[in-house]
Amino acid sequence: MSIGVPLPPGSTIGIFGSGQLGRMLTLAAARLGLKTHIFAPTGPDSPAAQVAQTYTQAEYEDLDAVKAFAENCDALTYEFENVPAETAKVAAHCKPLHPSAACLNVAQDRLTEKLFISEKAGVPVAPFEAIDSKEGLKRALQNLGGSCVLKTRRFGYDGKGQMIIRTEADIEQAWDKLGTQSVIAEAFIPFVREVSVLCARGADGQTAAYPLVENVHQNHILHTSIAPAPRDMGRAKELALNIMQALDYVGVMATEFFELEDGSFLVNEIAPRVHNSGHWTQDAGCTDQFEQHIRAVAGWPLGNPNPKHGVVMTNLIGKDANDWKALAREENSFLHLYGKNEAREGRKMGHVNRIVPTS
């Protein structure tokens, strides 16, 4: 099913997942007079369920619940890429699901993703090899230049499900840890910086691209996004739009790149959803990524992606959020908290957008 006319105010967008992304999608939808219905196995006090108009608590594998949920909505989307394929299929059979089940399929598996990006979209990725044995990993290590990153094909995030292999001696330990899953080996890329591009694409093929963002990670978790990134030749944006076009993508998509010393880009991965590296858009004087995604999913025209000033976004991870009083006092900052109670280590509790003075 696809979207025809724009959904009128009062319509309901169904969202799989009840984390902070679903929460911010819900708040953006409410601004436009649209409602959301959250579907997730987590409790009613989870971040998105707290603010949504309707909430279904059920397992993603409960296809009867999925069907009832989808029937109750006017359009469907998700806040995370690990929605099971069968769930997406059942949902998409009832109501328009965007990004499509085909996009999910590509993004859920690193091997499928890299093959699609490099072969179908013609966009460069780091050299990689599918691995199915310890011996295969040894051969790949030589082919990939003597060091590589071993990554699980599915369910990796924030550095989970990956290990760096610097020499042959590291193979044993890496294989013990990850070898029971489907894995790929990627060449170890000596990048200058990690950047990402956030673009939206409407059902009519209209696109809106935000400026390039430079990302700084700490402990494999995004720490800071600097937007717009200091140097932006526009090339990364073009590559990201090529991928979206090849996917016939509808919604907001994040594309993470490694920028190399010669100024060229390799795609690291795509996220078929709103993304942490786009949180800065909320306080940049443009249409933010959450409203943009809702607009695309509801068949509305896309909004303006051009920021009026720079923003540095910093995640509040675990106990960082305990500083809320001091952060609330900062003069040119906007504080966003996700309604989570427990400040567990590594847990994203909120973020702060600091306006960069225009010189």
User: Binding to a second copy by residue 205, rule CB under 8 A?
Assistant: no
Question: How many Å apart are CA 9 and CA 35, to the nearest integer?
Answer: 8
At its nearest, how many Å lie between a second copy and the CB of residue 150?
Answer: 38
**C-alpha pair distances (Å), 196 with each of 105, 106, 212, 247:** 21, 19, 6, 18
The residue (of 208 and 241) whose beta carbon lies closer to a second copy is 208
Q: What is the largest CA-CA distance in the chain?
A: 60
- CB-CB contact of 41 with 60 (8 Å): yes
Copy the structure tokens of residue 219: 């402990």
Q: How far is the CB of 271 from a second copy (least distance, A)?
A: 23
Of 332-351, binders to a second copy (CB under 8 A) are 332, 334-341, 350
**One of 62, 309, 318, 347 touching a second copy (CB under 8 A):** 309
Q: Which stretch binds a second copy (CB under 8 A): 84-92, 192-200, 236-244, 296-304?
A: 296-304
Rule CB under 8 A: is residue 352 a binding residue for a second copy? Answer: no
Q: Please select the residue that binds a second copy; options are 64, 325, 345, 359, rule is CB under 8 A.
A: 325
- Least separation in angstroms between residue 2's CB and a second copy is 18
Comparison of 32 and 102: residue with beta carbon closer to a second copy:
32
Residue 54 phi/psi, 5-degree rounding, is -135, 150
Does residue 312 touch a second copy according to CB under 8 A? no
Q: Provide DSSP, 143-210.
A: HTTS-EEEEESSS--TTTTEEEE-SGGGHHHHHHHHTTS-EEEEEPP--SEEEEEEEEE-TTS-EEEP
Give CA–CA dist 147/2, Å, rounded. Answer: 45
Measure the CA–CA gap between 340 and 334, rounded to whole angstroms. 18
> What is the signed CA dihedral for 29, 35, 39, 43, rounded to 10 degrees?
90
Nearer to a second copy, 85 or 328 (CB): 328
Q: Please select the residue that binds a second copy; options are 321, 348, 352, 354, rule is CB under 8 A.
A: 321
Map the footprint of a second copy across residues 8-37, applying CB under 8 A.
8-10, 23, 27, 30-33, 35
Residue ranges in contact with a second copy by CB under 8 A: 6, 8-10, 23, 27, 30-33, 35, 50-51, 53, 283, 285, 287, 295, 300-301, 303-304, 308-309, 321, 324-325, 328-329, 331-332, 334-341, 350, 355
